[in-house]
A = this chain, B = another copy of it.
Amino acid sequence: MTDFVLDEFLPYQLAVLAERTSREFSALYRERFGISVAEWRVLAHLSQSGTVGVREIHARAAMDKSKVSRAAARLQAQGLIAKKTDPRDRRLVALSLTDRGRALVDQILPLARAYEAEVEARLGPARASALREALQALQKGGSQ
């Protein structure tokens, strides 16, 4: 009964755009390299942080830990990552890229940069950086 406009509702807007961009980008690696979005996300994390636990990806990427766990299992089965239990805390699983995994990431990263550039071109530099800034702020949870 009110002035609610779906197209301006943030969760909706974010979901639509996330779906579109993730899908658009995944088209670039999906069939060519045979990995899914969830798997790419795990790989990307590993390429950033070297060796990471399931828990950390779960928290940072907002993926359910079972989703991370299973994506990791699939990647391991493909020989792209290694899983070994941390000797200091044997509950933890240390994920890391294998050589093949690193090689794959190195093939995908240029695609990621290209896609990023294309999106920025669509937006224009001013809006692009404003978007980035706002998204970062939202992530932190505050207005700082």
A77 within 8 A of B: no
Of the residues B5, B61, B124, B132, contact of A48 by C-beta under 8 Å = B5
Quick check: A2 and B141 within 8 Å, CB to CB? no
Interface presence of A34 (CB below 8 A): no
Query: Range of interface residues on chain A?
Result: 35 or more
- Given A11-B22, A116-B9, A132-B8, A123-B109 contact (CB < 8 Å): no
Interface residue A73 (Cβ < 8 Å from any Cβ of B): no
How many copies the complex holds: the figure is 2
**Across the two chains, which residue of chain B brings its CB closest to A131?**
B134
Q: Is the CB of A113 within 8 A of B17?
A: no
Collect the chain B residues with CB atoms within 8 Å of residue A130's CB.
127, 130-131, 133-134
Q: Which residues of B contact A44 (CB under 8 A)?
A: 6, 9, 12
Nearest B residue (CB) for A61: B16
Tell me, in angstroms, the Cα distance from A137 to B21 when the chains sit together. Answer: 13
Give residues in A with beta carbon < 8 Å to B.
Answer: 1-2, 4-25, 37, 41, 44-45, 47-48, 60-63, 106, 109, 112-113, 115-116, 119, 121-124, 127-128, 130-139, 141-143
Contact between A128 and B123 (Cβ–Cβ < 8 Å)? Answer: no
Complexed CA–CA distance, A24 and B45 (Å): 24
* Complexed CA–CA distance, A1 and B48 (Å): 10
- The winner among A5, A14, A131 for most chain B CB atoms within 10 A is A14
A14 and B14 in contact, given A4-B109, A127-B134 (Cβ under 8 angstroms): yes
